Amino acid sequence: MRGEWHSYAPDGREVVVRRQGDFWFVECGGAYARSTNLDAALTRAIREEAEVLAHTSEVDYPTWIRSFTDSVEPEK
């Protein structure tokens, strides 16, 4: 299964998600993460740029990540 999705994190950084086999590849700004779990890959890529997040503490990233994941992987 292959796919690619584009979105923007709440702070405006572009998020690109690719699915290849069992792995999710996520790019967010200059950060990159890979995991078999989309939530984990998104969290790692977004948090890798810690200095950006330090200035956006009012953003609810866990809720955004869950919402994005649900839009990509609807319940079966």
Q: What is the mean pLDDT of residues 50-68?
A: 72
What's the angle, vertex CA 29, arms to CA 70 and CA 5, rounded to 5? 35
Q: Which residue has the tokens 């609810």?
A: 60
CB 64 within 8 A of CB 3: no
pLDDT given for residue 45 in this prediction: 92
For the ranges 1-10, 14-23, 42-51, 52-61, the lowest mean pLDDT is seen at 52-61
pLDDT value of residue 42: 93
Confidence check: pLDDT of 74 > 90: no
pTM higher than 0.85 for the full model?
Answer: no
End-to-end Cα distance, the chain? 15
- Please determine, for residue 67, whether its predicted confidence score (pLDDT) is greater than 60: yes
